Amino acid sequence: MAQKRQRRRRLYLAQSSQPRILITMLALMGLVAVILIVFVYVDTNLRLSERYPGFNSIQPVILSALVIVNLFAAVFSLVLILLFSHRIAGPIYNLGRVLRSVAQGDLSSDIRFRKKDFLHEIADDGNLALDFLRQEIGEMQKLSLELVNRLESSGGNPDPELEAIDEARALQDRLGKFRIAEDQELGG
């Protein structure tokens, strides 16, 4: 079966772990930027003001240059952090979506990530688990259907057979809550 190419329509996933990743990384970068500005500015002031008496007149130029360079670096870093965090938060968001559908009995979806996303090992392991569940539930569905058919077609004492048919139908109804293929519900 050919897999469809996964494309996310949004770069920023607000309902995921991406905002925490962004805030943490930006806070760390902001702290580093402020520390660098302070140390470079103070160091430059101490060294150059001793050697050059007219240095005080260019101090504002150096400070504004440092601030401008750091602002450009911050914007560039924000874009890189957004792209990087999306390669982590996107798969986590997708995995959560598939797991929520599994929790509602829908086993028809596979866990698929984009080629450059992280966490492909989790997708592979999750898909192995989903394949196992689909296979086992499919086998249980076949067995329950065979049991119902056999009990309905057999003759004999009606009381035990009716009880067994009811139990088999109950099993089939429970298994019917699962969907193992895109258009196939169990028990029907």
167 contacts 187 by C-beta, under 8 angstroms: no
User: In the structure, what pLDDT confidence band is assigned to residue 126 with cuts at 50, 70 and 90?
Assistant: very high
pLDDT digits (tens, 9 = 90+) for 33-76: 888 878 877 777 777 777 777 777 777 787 788 889 888 988 89
Q: Are residues 116 and 163 in the same domain?
A: yes
Q: Are residues 26 and 100 in the same domain?
A: yes
Q: Are residues 17 and 90 in the same domain?
A: yes
Give a three-class secondary structure readout of the chain: CCCCCCCCCCCCCCCCCHHHHHHHHHHHHHHHHHHHHHHHHHHHHHHHHHHCHHHHHCHHHHHHHHHHHHHHHHHHHHHHHHHHHHHHHHHHHHHHHHHHHHHCCECCCCCCCCCCCCCHHHHHHHHHHHHHHHHHHHHHHHHHHHHHHHHHHCCCCHHHHHHHHHHHHHHHHHHCCCEEECCEECCC
pLDDT digits (tens, 9 = 90+) for 161-179: 676 777 777 788 777 777 7
Q: Are residues 164 and 136 in the same domain?
A: yes
pLDDT over 80 at 89, yes or no:
yes
> Does residue 1 fall inside a structural domain?
no
Q: What is the pLDDT at residue 127? A: 95
Q: Are residues 87 and 124 in the same domain?
A: no
> Does residue 7 fall inside a structural domain?
no
Of 104, 119, 151, the position where a domain reaches its end is 104
Range of the domain at 23: 12-104
Of 88, 104, 120, the position where a domain reaches its end is 104
> Does residue 4 fall inside a structural domain?
no
Q: Are residues 166 and 149 in the same domain?
A: yes
Q: Are residues 20 and 73 in the same domain?
A: yes
pTM of the model: 0.61
Of 52, 73, 104, the position where a domain reaches its end is 104
Higher pLDDT, 29 or 14: 29
Between the alpha carbon of residue 117 and those of residues 86, 104, 158, the distances in Å are 8, 26, 59
Q: Within its chain, how far is the Cα of 12 from the centroid?
A: 12
Q: What is the pLDDT at residue 69? A: 86
